[in-house]
Every structure is written in C-alpha cells, then in structure tokens.
Amino acid sequence: MFKSWIQTTTLIKFITFFVSLVANAQTQTNGSQSNNLITAVPFLLITPDARAGSMGNAGVAVEGDANSSSINASKLAYLTQDYGFAISYSPWLKNLVPDINLSYLSGYYKLNDRNTIGASMRYFSLGNLSIIDENQQDLGSFSPSEFAVDASFVRKFGEEFALGTTLRYVRSNLSSGLFGTTQQNSAGQAVAVDVSGIFKTRTQFLNTDATLSLGGNISNIGTKMSYSNGGTNYFLPTNLKLGGATTFELDALSEFTIALDFNKLLVPTQPIYDIDGNIIKGKDPNRSVPAGIFGSFGDAPLGFSEELKEVGISTGIEYMYDKKFALRAGYYYENPQKGDTKYFTAGAGLRYNVFNVDLSYLVASQQQSPLANTLRFSLLFNFRNTKSITWDPKIR
C-alpha cells in the first residue's frame, strides 16, 4: 500500500504518469479476458516534430530536415546544408493537466558527402506533484519526468539510398521512491538502438516531375526496463514504421507532397487468461527481447486478423510554395479495438534564409480524445554549404 497519498488537485497527474507504463492502452475485455500491448516509456512514440505532427505523424519518407532523427535518421544523408539544429515543444494532454509537456532538441553535422552525424534529446515532463501524508502534512513536491539522449550515424550509398543507426539512452523517473511499496522503487533505465533507411529517386508521374521516396525505421530495440528491484521488466516500445512519399513539382514554384506511413509495435500481444491466470489462448508474453520482436508478428490470440488491427495508419499532405511557405494536413488512425485513436491534424510552415518555423494543431473532439487541441512548435536553423561537396542535382 502507499504510505502517502496525493493531494486531490494532483490525482489526475499521478494517474497519467502511472498509466504511462502502458503504451497505447490497447485493451479488450471479455469477462476475465484481456488483450493489451504493454510497454514502458511510451513517450518515445510521441512525434515531437511539428511538421510530421501536422501530417498525421507521417514522415518516415518525407524530405528530411534537422528534426529527421525523431522519425528516420537516415534522411539526414540528403540534407544540403553543412549543419543545423532544431528545437521543438508541445504541451501534452493539456485538456487534462496544464503542465505536462514534451521538449525536443536535435542537431546534425555533415562530415562529408556520404557521412553525417546527429544527436538529439527529448524530455517529457509530467508536471509537479504535491505530496501529503495521512495527517494532511505537506511532504513536499515531486516532478516525475522521462528523457532520452540519442547519437546517430548516417551513411549514403550511391545517390539514391542511405542507412542510419541511432544509439539511445533512456531514463524514466516516475516515483523517485516517494511512493513506498514492499519493493524499493527506482528510476527505470535502458539502452536501445534504431535502424533506419531511405530510398529516393526521380521519376515522372502523370507527365509531372516527381521525387519518389520509400523509408523505414525500427526504433527502440533495447533492453527491458524495471521500476523496482526484482520487479516486473517491461519491454521498450519497439516500433516498426514503414512508409512512402511522393513530391510532385507542379510548376517552378509549387510542390505537392503526399505521404503514407504504417506503424506496428513489435512487442508481445497479451494472451487471454482464465480466472486462475492460466493462458487459454495466445502466447506467454514473458520472453526475451528478440523473441518478443519476432514473435510480435504472430502472437495475437485471435490470429492474423488481430495482428492487422495492431497496425496504425498515418497519412498527410503538404503544399509548398517557393520553398518558403507550407500548408499541411493529415489523419491518424488506430483500430477501435487497438487504441481507438483517431484524429485530423493541420499545420503550416515558414522558411526564411536559415530559419524555419513549423506549427501543428491536432483536431479532435474534447469529449473523445485527451489529445484534442494539442499544439506542436518547431524552430529549425540550417546553415548553408561551406565545404566543396558535390551533390547529384537529381537528388534534393
């Protein structure tokens, strides 16, 4: 039992960060049956980039920028500037709690024509909690938070293909030992890697010059995380993201991009248990990380049809005028039995010299989604070429 409880005005925040142990809260119940996808640190699945956020979180194959590390690091290979950095910020779940937010800082540096390095940090703050004991005595406050630090290396192979890898350290401090139980609580820690790639080529479609891109990223392949000594070990939210994008050159000043991404968590699907806790359908979720990843394609209790329901869809469009002004829109969908997250997005972007600003807005019903009216902001700074780097003019 808890030795202290949380002041009523902060109870919602405690529930919010406690529930953050469960990614995508994909629950299906029928008596004693349940079917969840459970992971630690789901904040790693939040798209911090306002540009991708305004396109329904699609962007694994969209033209890269300084925020590319957050969705597909391999896109850094095709940036034409020597170096740049970006700052992104988003109030999160602000309809429930006013002080939860996600901050993201990223940067890159081109070593030469083929090799690029990048680094980033994301910080998820769950606000400030006031703690009181049974006698209404103030025990102080606590600010639960989670963060991840990344380092990326990207290499271009030829003019149409690039690969990237990212090393990540994750720390999740949700209790700081303030909530006493029979086990000693501690901050969860883990290390992980991402593996990403992109293919892009020039083509013609409907008599219009176009750039076709295909991208993929397997993120958060890493060690399990525990929040107490001898406690449960949770999978990281290993995620497969595959997608494509096509940019049409409508005329000398106008470009139109359409993007489509598919996402699937590569973690065990919880089996169906009887009232005694015995598995009656599905597979035991207590297995190694490699077994969890490879088994995630065929461990759903209801078979392949259920596996398909675990695939989320992101789609977005972007209209760019003179490489300076952009309008964007998108849609994100999860199956009603697997998260039931559905919303439209919209946004705009402005580029001037080395400075870019992007804004996104999430359109959803306040009664149906705690993410309704979510805003995301990104500031990007890209510095022009100073090295004698030769680029194929067919690849932007």
Confidence of residue 55 (pLDDT cuts 50, 70, 90): very high
What share of the chain has pLDDT > 70, as a percent? 82
Q: Which CATH superfamily is domain 5-383 in?
A: monomeric porin ompg (2.40.160.40)
Q: What integer pLDDT is reported at residue 135 of this predicted model?
A: 65
Tell me which amino acid residue 20 is.
Answer: S
Q: Which residue has the tokens 């911090």?
A: 48
Pairwise pLDDT comparison (171 vs 336), residue with the higher score: 171
Q: What integer pLDDT is reported at residue 20 of this predicted model?
A: 44
pTM of the model as a whole: 0.84
Give the model confidence (pLDDT) of 314-336 as tens digits: 999 999 998 899 999 999 999 88
Give the model confidence (pLDDT) of 66-86 as tens digits: 999 999 999 999 998 899 999
**Mean per-residue pLDDT over the chain, rounded:** 83
Confidence of residue 134 (pLDDT cuts 50, 70, 90): low
Q: What integer pLDDT is reported at residue 203 of this predicted model?
A: 87
Question: What integer is the mean pLDDT of 368-395?
Answer: 69
- What sign results for the dihedral spanned by CA atoms 202, 205, 208, 213? negative
What share of the chain has pLDDT > 90, as a percent? 51
Give the model confidence (pLDDT) of 257-294 as tens digits: 999 999 999 999 888 888 888 888 888 889 999 999 99
